Amino acid sequence: MTVARTITAALIIIITWNIAEAQSGLARVSMSVPKAIFLALAAPSPEVEVVSGVPTEGALRVRVKPSVVGKSVRVSLVARSNTPYAVLARLATSSNSQLTVRPEGAEPYSGRGEITPDALDVRFEAASVVSRLADIPIIEGSRISKRGDQTTPNNAIVLTFYIDMREEPVGGAELILQMAPNP
């Protein structure tokens, strides 16, 4: 028997054995997909700007500076996730000021093609008071994206809320927004 025939015979035996295992229900395939999140400012404005952050890590530090003292500032975030999530907020400004986050809603970023059926069913915490003391959950939701990556336009949603400041620090207030996987 030549080497080529020996290898061919061995491959036939291995393939036949694997088919038999699969038919008997003994073969199992398991896969683990890493949890992925993405959070970015939908559109910078004179009142809201990104100070720092990495969207693929789900963390942003934004400066909020109302054009008129006492005015509510609208913030819109682009969000993607392949897992349930929570958006947490913490005031980063060193003052003792507080701000209130009021919900507006969620909408598709660019069509519904690759978002899950429950993606727009987000739970906004009603009038969350945010301070320096702790990360406060302001939004929770289920998985957003069915498939795609950070460049796929129709697998994301826009989360919109308003920020009200009781007193405006000089230069505005900095806010840390973090998207975290939710068990």
User: Based on the domain organization, do 164 and 129 belong to the same domain?
Assistant: yes
d(CA 19, CA 6): 20
* CA of residue 28 relative to chain centroid, distance: 31
Indicate the DSSP class of residue 45.
B
Q: Tokens in use for 145? A: 């994206």
User: Based on the domain organization, do 84 and 171 belong to the same domain?
Assistant: yes
CATH number at residue 74: 2.60.120
**For residue 40, what are the contacts with CB-CB under 8 A and spacing of at least 6?**
55, 60, 77, 78
Three-state DSSP class for residue 12: helix
User: Based on the domain organization, do 64 and 142 belong to the same domain?
Assistant: yes
Residue 106, pLDDT score:
94
| Closest C-alpha to 53, from 92, 81, 19 | 92
Residue 11, pLDDT score:
46
C-beta of residue 116 within 8 angstroms of C-beta of residue 143:
yes
User: Based on the domain organization, do 24 and 95 belong to the same domain?
Assistant: no
Could you report the per-residue pLDDT of 127-175, keeping only the tens digit for each?
Answer: 677 777 788 889 999 999 988 777 777 889 999 999 888 766 667 888 8
User: Based on the domain organization, do 79 and 1 belong to the same domain?
Assistant: no
User: Based on the domain organization, do 13 and 60 belong to the same domain?
Assistant: no
What's the number of domains the chain is made of? 2
User: Based on the domain organization, do 75 and 144 belong to the same domain?
Assistant: yes
Q: What is the pTM of this model?
A: 0.76
Residue 25, pLDDT score:
60
User: Based on the domain organization, do 15 and 91 belong to the same domain?
Assistant: no
User: Based on the domain organization, do 24 and 69 belong to the same domain?
Assistant: no
- Domain of 15? 1-30
Q: What is the pLDDT along the chain (183 residues), one digit of tens a residue?
A: 555 555 555 445 555 545 545 555 655 666 666 788 889 999 878 889 888 888 888 889 988 888 877 788 999 999 999 999 999 988 887 666 778 888 899 999 988 888 899 999 999 887 677 777 788 889 999 999 988 777 777 889 999 999 888 766 667 888 889 999 987
